[in-house]
Amino acid sequence: MSFFIQQLINGLSIGSIYGLASVGYSLIYSILGFSNFAHGELTMVGAFAAFLSVATAHLPFPIALIFGAGASALTAVLMERLAYRPLRMKKAPSLYFFIAACGVSFMLANGFLVTMGATFRTFPPVFPVKTISIAGMSIGVIDLVTFLITAVAVLVLEYILAFTKTGKAIRASAYDGEMASMLGINMDVICFIIFFMAGCLAGLSGLFRGMKYTVYPTMGNIILKAWICAIFGGIGSVQGALVGALVLGILETFAAAYISSALKDILAFVILITILVVKPTGLFGKVTEEKA
């Protein structure tokens, strides 16, 4: 039983990393309605920014946290302004946004590959390498910090979306961007805020993933997991993206522990296919109809 609970805790930690990435991905999709496949590279930017601030500048973890989230947020805002805003101004089809996202993704990944090299880098010890015993269970310090910060970040995001004027404007824009714009909501400002928040979450995801595993230029491939989590929970749903991420993290951990670690990545795509066949709208998605 203790082994089962231990794996559950590990799954929640991994799911938290997926969740931070998938929530930001869902935010962008809810406003612009396209799959931002460059979102994974934002996690890579945040991981490298945090890593360099700790390994090179020897800054404390709270500062590294700010550096990682800030670098990703800045990259996300520049991405929106330089790559997506011109398309949005021309009312380009969603396919154009997707192509632009793929281009930005390749540019960032290969840019870091050329400048930083293909070496896998390991974070210096930020926290004591030990576990905390709670009710007979051993919880790693990094896992605990990851889960707690994810919970705080998502709660702050939910508060902003539910109880602030900015959040109401974001929800109105997600429901009908054209009508929201006609009613006086500045879509440029909304897009700036959305990409900034999504970038911060992606930076945190990259930071914790880098601390738990390694930092490398192609770690943006986590976007595939974030995409699956978002579809699983209901594309465009923040709550659904987080729930989908936690479920996927737990299932992957159990599959690796009880069956084989080789099945871990396969399981994610099995879940994707199953959801698309059984419930295409996901757990929290809603069926919508387009009328001529």
pLDDT above 60 (res 290): no
pLDDT digits (tens, 9 = 90+) for 153-170: 999 999 999 999 999 999
Q: Is residue 236 part of a domain?
A: no
Number of domains in the chain: 1
Q: Is the whole-model pTM more than 0.85?
A: yes
The predicted model gives 92-119 an average pLDDT of 93
Q: Are 43 and 219 within 8 A, CB to CB? A: yes
Q: Is residue 16 part of a domain?
A: yes
User: What's the rounded Cα separation, in Å, for the pair 225 and 184?
Assistant: 36
Q: Is 262 left (phi over 0), alpha (psi -120 to 50) or beta?
A: alpha
Q: Are 199 and 74 within 8 A, CB to CB? A: yes
Task: Report the residue count for the chain.
Answer: 292
Q: Is residue 280 part of a domain?
A: no
* pLDDT the model gives residue 99: 93
Q: Is residue 138 part of a domain?
A: yes
pLDDT band at 33 (very low <50, low <70, confident <90, very high): confident
User: What's the rounded Cα separation, in Å, for the pair 261 and 255?
Assistant: 7
* pLDDT the model gives residue 286: 59
pLDDT digits (tens, 9 = 90+) for 211-247: 989 999 999 988 888 888 988 888 778 888 999 999 9
Higher per-residue pLDDT: 290 or 281: 281
In our burial notation (b when 16+ CB lie closer than 10 A, e otherwise), range 127-151 reads eeeeeeeeeeeebbebbbbbbebbe
The predicted model gives 174-178 an average pLDDT of 87
Coil/strand/helix, residue 119 = coil
Q: Is residue 229 part of a domain?
A: no
* pLDDT the model gives residue 9: 84
Q: Is residue 232 part of a domain?
A: no
pLDDT above 80 (res 137): no
* pLDDT the model gives residue 70: 97
Q: Is residue 264 part of a domain?
A: no
- Find the domain containing 177 and state its range: 2-223
Q: Is residue 81 part of a domain?
A: yes
pLDDT band at 291 (very low <50, low <70, confident <90, very high): very low
